[in-house]
Amino acid sequence: MTKAKNKAPLRIGAFEPIEKIGQGAMGDIWLCYDHSLDRNLIVKQMKVSLRNSKVMEERFNREVRVHAKLQHPNIVGIHSYWRESNTTLNIGMEWVNGWNLEQVLEKCPQPPLWVCLAIIRDILSGLTYAHDRDVIHRDLKPSNIMFGFDGRVRILDFGIAKDSEQDLTQGAGIVGTTSFLSPEQAQSLPLSPASDLFSLGIVVWKMFSGQHPFRHENPEQTVANIIGANPQGKLSNKIPHNLGQWNRRLLAKKTKKRPQNSREVALHIDRALSAYPRDLSPWLANWIYDLRKGDNSKIQVPRASFKRFWLTLFLGFIIGASAYFLWSL
């Protein structure tokens, strides 16, 4: 366990702060240690300056209610929620030992295809679960996707998620991160699961091509590109044509031209990964380990042997036919 920094509070609830690892508009993010269970966790602590705001408090409450619905292996889980004696609100969440996808892409701007597909499949697994519960993330981006060193990918930060029961206004302006907005978000139009899929399409394009499809140094131009421009850059020649076409469908400007649900997209990815082992997390763990060591990550995942498949099928047929013949005597 790392020693707590001098500026950290002595305690946050029942937990010992280790270090402050982030800061958002609503709160500070602390890595903490739980002595009773001998584990680390993340605590999101509402800013002291906001604790007298009923609107911000309700927004914090809403984040917890929305996130608490989502108990899934590919979504960072919530452990607890409490109010300190000084009225500060806190959310205790699962700590993921790993890098976020933004950090991964800084080290390896264009991961191998199998790595990209495995990451996408895990994201879609979490998104499908959320969408089935009427939750739209609205801020899907690489820094909100955790790549655990255990080889499992998880979605985090449902702080501005929208569900069917409540949707507090966020004030004037656009909700979400400018460079990962969907066209409808950028124009303050109604959202749907297809809005998250557009944001996913941006993440996928970034992995497939090594660059953002719409980003410009001027944020207003970035928004204009999202609304009306074609994706910039060229996909790697290692990306099969059908996957490139699928990526472009995710980036369609009109929602009706995109896949309408994440389950449909997940089936497409499952087909693309059909020749690989179903559980790729051990290989992903090896891949990220090698990437951290700086050897350009040359781990290869074994494909299923089609020769063995047909041999097994043939032997199964022979054994079945023999059994039927002996039974009929």
The token pair at 24 is 């958002």
Q: CB atoms < 10 A from the CB of 321, how many?
A: 10
Q: What CA–CA distance (Å, rounded) separates 199 from 250?
A: 8
Residue tagged active-site, from 139, 150, 163, 290: 139
How many residues are listed for the chain in this entry?
A: 329
Say whether 28 is catalytic: no
Q: Please return the burial class of 194, using the count of CB atoms within 10 Å of its CB with bins 0-12, 13-18 and 19+.
A: buried
Residues 6+ apart with CB under 8 A from 178: 219, 222, 223
SS (H, E, C) 136-168: ECCCCCHHHEEEECCCCEEECCCCCCEECCCCC
User: What are the φ/ψ torsions at residue 317 (nearest 5 degrees)?
Assistant: -65, -45
C-beta separation of 266 from 124 below 8 A: yes
b/e 86-125 (16+ beta carbons within 10 angstroms → b): eebbbbbbbbbebbbbeebbeebebbbbbbbbbbbbbbbb
The residues annotated with a catalytic role in the active site are: 139
